[in-house]
Amino acid sequence: MRAAARGAAAVLAVLALAGCGQTVAAEPVATTAEVRTDASCLDDEVLDALGLELDASLRTRAPAPTTRGLPPAGFVADTALLCDRGQTLRDSAGTWWAVTATRLEGDLGPLERVATRTPAACGAGVVAQVWLVDALGAAVLLPRAAACDGELTAVLGDLDVLERTEHPAALAQTSSGQTPG
């Protein structure tokens, strides 16, 4: 009886070590991103990740939903568009929350490698968002959590800045001093 119990315990131990006796959540399947021709830091998905909503006075058309994900096979990125919270901007309407759009170029291989591995868990804070753009302007919006990887910051820092632009996104305070909304 003891030998049978030890044998059963050994089999259970081997199965547990092999993962056969456990329920393990499957790795999420990586979604392939929709290729768009209108990469923008004012995209609703980007603004949501940055904790902003585009002011109605700036909306020129109904927002088209963006399918985030990894670049499709054969997609060759030429530049990256980094979208992050910017400084506040002032005009005759008042003070605006802004988004900084930074176009980057250089060796995008490390960026693509970091972005395609399993993303790190994001906290509740604002996380910069990244588009990959090919030479003809086709673009894919990387998964929301791709920028949570601390290594991504270092990789982005190695790229050259082509252009940096501030875009007003949401009116924070009217010129009369009132908070909209």
- pLDDT, one tens digit per residue, over 117-168 is 766 666 667 788 999 999 999 999 998 877 776 788 888 889 999 999 999 9
Distant-in-sequence, close-in-space partners of 73: CB < 8 Å, separation ≥ 6: none
Phi-psi region of 51 (alpha: psi -120 to 50; beta: other; left: phi over 0): left
pLDDT-based confidence at residue 65 (cuts at 50, 70, 90): confident
Average pLDDT, the chain: 79
What is the pLDDT averaged over residues 15-38?
A: 55
The pLDDT assigned to 133 comes to 96
Q: Which helix (H) or strand (E) holds 97?
A: strand 94-105
Domain boundaries, the chain: 28-174
DSSP 8-state symbol, 107:
-
Q: Are 99 and 82 in contact (CB under 8 A)?
A: no
What is the reported pTM? 0.77
